[in-house]
Copies of this chain bind each other. A is one copy, B any other.
Amino acid sequence: MAALTGPVLVVGTGLLGTSVALACRRAGVETLLADVSPEHLRTASGLGAGRPMTEGDRPQLVVVAVPPAHLADAIGDALLTFGADAVVTDVGSVKSAPLREVATRVDPAQLSRYVGSHPMAGSERSGPLAASDALFDGRPWAVTPHEGADPDAVTVVEDLVALCGAVPVRLDPDAHDRAVARTSHLPHLVAVLVAGRLADAPPEHLALSGQGVRDVTRIAGSDPALWQQIVSANSAAVLGVLGEMRDQLDALIGAVGEDRRPELERLLERGVTGTRAIPGKHGAPRQPTRSVFVSVPDQPGELARLFADCGEAGVNIEDVRIDHDPGRPVGLTELIVAEGRAEPLLEALESRGWTTHR
Residues in A lying within 8 Å of B, measured CB to CB: 38-39, 42-43, 45-48, 50-51, 120-122, 129, 139-140, 142, 169, 171, 175-176, 178-180, 182-184, 186-199, 201, 203-222, 224-225, 227-228, 231-232, 235, 238-239, 241-246, 248-250, 252-253, 256-257, 259, 261, 264-265, 267-279, 283, 296, 298-304, 307, 320, 322, 324, 326, 331
Contacts and interface: CB of A to CB of B under 8 A. Distances in A.
A197 B140 contact: no
A207 B300 CA distance: 46
B188 A265 contact: no
A183 B171 contact: no
Q: Identify the 10 closest CB pairs spanning chains A and B, nearest first.
A: A195-B274, A46-B303, A192-B271, A179-B205, A224-B268, A220-B271, A120-B210, A187-B216, A199-B274, A198-B274
A201 B182 contact: yes
Counting every copy of the chain, the complex holds 2
Contacts of A121: 210-211
Given A216-B219, A242-B256, A246-B249, 19 more contacts: A47-B301, A120-B209, A140-B209, A169-B204, A179-B201, A184-B212, A187-B194, A189-B252, A192-B268, A192-B270, A192-B274, A197-B245, A198-B277, A199-B270, A215-B215, A220-B272, A224-B271, A228-B264, A235-B259
Contact of A186 (B50, B186, B194, B303): B194
A321 to B, nearest CB: 9
Quick one: which of A176, A235, A274, A283 has the most chain B CB within 10 A?
Answer: A274
Given A210-B122, A242-B252, A191 B216 contact: yes
Nearest to A323: B39
29 contacts: A38-B324, A43-B303, A129-B320, A140-B207, A140-B210, A169-B208, A175-B204, A179-B208, A182-B198, A187-B213, A189-B252, A190-B194, A191-B212, A192-B268, A192-B271, A192-B274, A193-B249, A194-B274, A195-B275, A196-B267, A198-B274, A203-B279, A206-B278, A215-B218, A216-B219, A228-B261, A228-B264, A235-B259, A246-B246
